[in-house]
Structure 1
Amino acid sequence: MIRPLAAGDREAAVALWHACGLTRPWNDPHADFSRAAEGPSSAVLGAFEDTTLIGSAMVGHDGHRGWVYYLGVHPEHRQRHLGRALMDACEAWVRERGVPKIEVMVRGDNAATRGFYEALGYGLEDVVVYSRRF
């Protein structure tokens, strides 16, 4: 079952993200979860086995493009097509809001994840991302 996560799911989601190796020291995953789960144009979706969170994805949009972050499936539950099911749910979430495009950012050295998205039909865009931290 995939459903939107609520504030009470935050600790389970952050623990999952740590188990999946998705967190980085310069990002606060608790704050990231809260912003997305409480935002008017974003959500955190969770995949459950019984009552245990085993996968999640953060999805949102800016009106023109949708985006996905923190897509992960607990290592003990991989190879069951849950990542694909979560991406399907993210794509449906974006389409339901009339957004014409969805994007993901993947670290350049993450070949396995790049292969996952390529297998789903995602193509590499010719863009460079600049950022500034506050």
Structure 2
Amino acid sequence: MSVQIRPFEDADADAVVALWQLAGLVRPWNDPYRDIERKKAVQRELFLVAVDGERVVGAGMAGYDGHRGWVNYLAVHPDARRTGLGRTLMAEFEARLLALGCPKLSLQVRDGNDDALAFYAELGFTRDPAVSLGKRLIADD
């Protein structure tokens, strides 16, 4: 496998959404295509895909608000897991966020996703003493 990490291109949309669906990241209340359009409008350079030839095998979005960075929608195709690709994508996000002056990186993992929790623990992430709250401002339905 010869993987290249590059910024998202519009032609990647269907493959990225399919990857997110395969990885179990898509929820009925979030339209992934709308999320892609939103990301393209804000820090598009922090929307990355990993490609093996023409095939999208990894993807994720990051952002920085001046206080902390976030990573969302990080997914690696099952065929490419345990190859170091997830680690490589996270390292690329960390480097890009650090270049922006970002002092801390945060992410959220859904309850019960023990594989993701173990993955992030291996990368040095620890649980923050915080509760995640959310409020929907725009419905995607």
Structure 2 length as normaliser, TM-score?
0.90
**Of 5, 9, 19, which aligns to 1:6?**
9
Rounded Cα–Cα distance in structure 2 between residues aligned with 1:6 and 1:96:
22
Does residue 61 of the first structure (1) align with residue 64 of the second (2)?
yes
Which consecutive segments of 4 or more residues in structure 1 shift more than 2 A?
Answer: 40-43
1:16 matched to 2:12? The reply is no
Indicate which of 87, 90, 93 corresponds to 1:90: 93
Contact residue 56 and residue 70 of structure 1 kept, 8 A: yes
Q: Does 1:119 align with 2:122?
A: yes
The Cα of 1:72 is off from its aligned counterpart by: 0.6
1:104 paired with 2:102, answer: no
Shift in Å, 1:78? 1.1
User: 5+ residue gaps in structure 2?
Assistant: none
Q: What secondary structure, in the 3-state scheme, does the structure 1 residue paired with 2:34 have?
A: helix
Matched, 1:80 2:76: no
Give the Cα–Cα distance (whole angstroms) in 2 for the partners of residues 128 and 57 of structure 1. 23
Checking the alignment, whether the CA contact within 8 Å between 1:46 and 1:57 is kept in structure 2 is yes
Give the letter for the 1:71 counterpart: L
The answer on 1:44 being equivalent to 2:52 is no
Give the conservation status (yes or no) of the 8 Å contact 2:46–2:93. Answer: no
- Candidates 26, 29, 34, aligned match of 1:31: 34
| 27 and 52 in structure 1: CA distance in 2 versus 1, 3 angstrom threshold | same
Query: Does the 8 Å contact 2:5/2:49 carry over to 1?
Result: yes
Unpaired runs of at least 5, structure 1:
none
The more displaced of 31-40 and 72-81 is: 31-40
Q: Which moved more, 1:19-28 or 1:39-48?
A: 39-48
CA apart distance, 1:66: 0.4
Q: Post-superposition shift, 1:96? A: 1.2
| Percent of paired sites with the same residue | 42
Output the aligned Cα RMSD: 1.3
Question: What amino acid maps onto 1:15 in structure 2?
Answer: A
